[in-house]
Amino acid sequence: MDIKKILFKELLDKVEKPGRYTGKEFNEIVKEEDASTVKIALAFPDLYEIGMSYLGFKILYDIINKRDDALAERVFSPAVDMEELLRERQIPAFSLETYRPLNSFDIVGFTIQHELGYSNILNLLELGHIPLRSEERKEDDPLIITGGPCAFNPEPLSRFIDLFVIGEGEEIIGEIIEVYKKWKDKKQSRVKLLEELARIEGIYVPSFYEITYFKDGRIKSVTPKKETCYSVIKKQIISDFDKVAYPLFPIVPNIDVVHDRITLEIFRGCTRGCRFCQAGMIYRPVREKSVDTLIGLADEILAHTGYEEISLSSLSSSDYSEIKSLITKLVDRFKEKGVGVSLPSLRIDSFSVALAQQVQRVRKTGLTLAPEVGTQRLRDVINKNVLEEDLYSSIRAAFEGGWRKIKLYFMVGLPTETEEDVEGIVRLVSKVDHMGREITGRKININISVSAFVPKPHTPFQWGAQQKREILSKKIRYLKNRLNWRNISFSYPDINRVYLEAVFARGDRRLGEVLEKAHYLGCKFDAWREQFNFEAWQQAFNDSGLNMEFYIKRVREEDEILPWDHISCGVKKEYLLEEKKKALRGETTPDCRFEDCTECGVC
């Protein structure tokens, strides 16, 4: 089947955004190959414009394609219009580089950023003509690998994935390729390949582990079936972050994507210790790139792409130890070329606002701050380590600095939250609005974004229950009604989607059956409001004999085996338990980068 010919002659004029499927982008890599080349599909289970914005995807693409013995090509979930055409013509999902069918690769590596992408993984496997279940795959089927933050609770996907990469992938991908090459030369069984890969630290092969349950549904034991398997899988960590591979020739997309700019990762990890934040736990320890390295990367990437914006990427950019020097040098170096610098994540303090004022020298942008909650009491519970006066002084500095538009992030449903805490959000926004009018003498625009708390694995709140849907919905409605002002835009989540996210974030291996049934009921693109079908998910749970509420409404016992306990992010469970207790006492924990070690276990 000549997929390229059919695509260009018969399909592209029938879909909404043909540029999602054409390939041929600037800096795309198409490699010559022979029989020994390890062919890897980097699969992103969402639309092209989402996947092309993800930095980790670009890093792996660069690392693999620099090797003489391997190649990497990209595969994205087709939009609904293209999927219908592919199914109708029985054309498999294909790569953008060579239009190669997904099932003809040696390895298919999925990146999973959030739980609502799980159904798209199954859909893409089916579209790629690959058996869904790992046990059904034959020797010549691709090896299915998954990595990303969701791999820190791999169990809900374990029925479908051959192996999970726990932690950072820059170095371990080379080890996987080496093992695969030797296995391919020896023509051994698929099981033998998995056995060899399971010896690598950071690799989890779910089929090599047996899980038993108590009658009430709690986990009784997690036991390796083979002596060579680790009882606890420790994450991979890049030690020398300054020298780690970074793409100097990133692909420039054919169409607008979500983050259409240079992404400069300035450091990885965060030790601020927000108790709701999974990323702050699983990406520890903090490792930085030097200013000189970053300036050099920016020079190279700009020369090879022609972008007009550099986005500094990290969990909290203003925590970078030389952030002031970096921004000054970047702005001074590139302002004559009209290249701006953006800071997507800032602390709430006047120093951060001063940094934001620096980048305004090239291009005006909005200012985004995350108070998270409306009262100091709850801010201490979640360990935000920000005082109310810090928030108001930074907002005052922003208005005095010329900003007329501010975005504020909040969260509802956090542990110990009361009606007073929710009302505190209204009071805080009212004060910001009043302050803005007073300082500027005119109306200011406030963009309010409210999310609902999901208790995530490897956080101090992992033992807690999620609030009931009706309570979360009531809080969102209350805020929407109270903040229904002409100068405020208000965005909020679909609570049913939040509910499903929590189920899979906290779920165990039995959810594989639910996921498979939901797939056959047509569930996909669950993160997209117009595609989400909660009734189908409810049916899938009923048909599987499982209960959503079991996973999210139940407070877990402190000595209970959690579905992800055999996966280690390096942070000790004892530390997380102590943080949970401190939260309930309203005690804060300082950042170990600036004060004493908190003995979380990572170092």
Q: What is the pLDDT of residues 150-193, one digit of tens each?
A: 999 999 999 999 999 999 999 999 999 999 999 999 989 999 99
> What CA–CA distance (Å, rounded) separates 435 from 431?
6
For residue 359, is pLDDT > 80? no
3-state secondary structure of 445: strand
So where are the chain's domains? 3-234, 262-505+572-585
Per-residue pLDDT tens digits for 30-65: 999 999 999 999 999 999 999 999 999 999 999 999
Provide CB contacts within 8 A for 323, sequence distance 6+.
266, 317, 355
Alpha-carbon dihedral angle through residues 413, 414, 417, 423, given to the nearest 10 degrees: -60
For residue 358, is pLDDT > 90? no
Up-side HSE of residue 434: CA atoms within 13 Å toward CB? 7
Phi and psi, residue 219, nearest 5°: -80, 130
CA distances (Å), origin 508, targets 12, 220, 410, 467, 498:
41, 12, 29, 20, 18
3-state secondary structure of 391: helix
Q: Cβ(335)–Cβ(295) under 8 Å?
A: no
Supply the pLDDT for residue 345.
64
Q: Cβ(119)–Cβ(519) under 8 Å?
A: yes
For residue 511, is pLDDT > 90? yes
Give the other-Cβ count within 10 Å of 35's Cβ: 5
Q: Which two tokens stand for residue 414?
A: 């956090």
For residue 8, is pLDDT > 70? yes
Q: C-alpha angle with apex 272: 466 to 381, nearest 5 degrees?
A: 40
For residue 415, is pLDDT > 90? yes
Q: What residues does 446 pair with on adjacent strands?
A: 406, 488
Q: Cβ(409)–Cβ(492) under 8 Å?
A: no
Closest CA to 359 of 319, 427, 300, 311: 311
Higher-confidence position of 386 and 346: 386
Provide CB contacts within 8 A for 331, sequence distance 6+.
341, 358, 359, 361, 362
Q: 196: pLDDT confidence band, cut at 50, 70 and 90?
A: very high
- Model's pTM, two decimal places? 0.96
Chain Cα centroid distance, residue 22: 26
Q: 318: pLDDT confidence band, cut at 50, 70 and 90?
A: confident
For residue 570, is pLDDT > 80? yes
Percent of the chain with pLDDT over 70: 98
For residue 349, is pLDDT > 80? no
Give the other-Cβ count within 10 Å of 89's Cβ: 12
- The CATH number assigned to the domain with range 3-234 reads 3.40.50.2300
Supply the pLDDT for residue 362.
63
- Which DSSP letter does residue 562 get? P
Supply the pLDDT for residue 363.
64
> What CA–CA distance (Å, rounded) separates 82 from 95?
14
Q: 580: pLDDT confidence band, cut at 50, 70 and 90?
A: very high
For all residues of the chain together, what is the average pLDDT?
A: 95
CA distances (Å), origin 434, targets 401, 439, 487:
16, 9, 12
**Radius of gyration of the chain from its Cα atoms, rounded to whole angstroms:** 24
CA distances (Å), origin 379, targets 406, 424, 595:
20, 11, 20
For residue 361, is pLDDT > 80? no
For residue 353, is pLDDT > 80? no
Percent of the chain with pLDDT over 90: 87
- Which DSSP letter does residue 51 get? H
- The CATH number assigned to the domain with range 262-505+572-585 reads 3.20.20.70
> What CA–CA distance (Å, rounded) separates 28 from 346?
33
Q: 295: pLDDT confidence band, cut at 50, 70 and 90?
A: very high
For residue 209, is pLDDT > 80? yes
> What CA–CA distance (Å, rounded) separates 545 from 460?
30
Chain Cα centroid distance, residue 259: 14
Supply the pLDDT for residue 356.
78
Residue carrying structure tokens 């005052």:
396
Supply the pLDDT for residue 152.
98
Q: Return the minimum-mean-pLDDT range out of 22-36, 361-375, 475-489, 581-595.
A: 361-375
For residue 381, is pLDDT > 90? yes
> What CA–CA distance (Å, rounded) separates 232 from 176?
19
Residues 321-350 as b or e (16 or more Cβ within 10 Å = b): eebeebbebbbeebeeeebbbbbebbbbbb
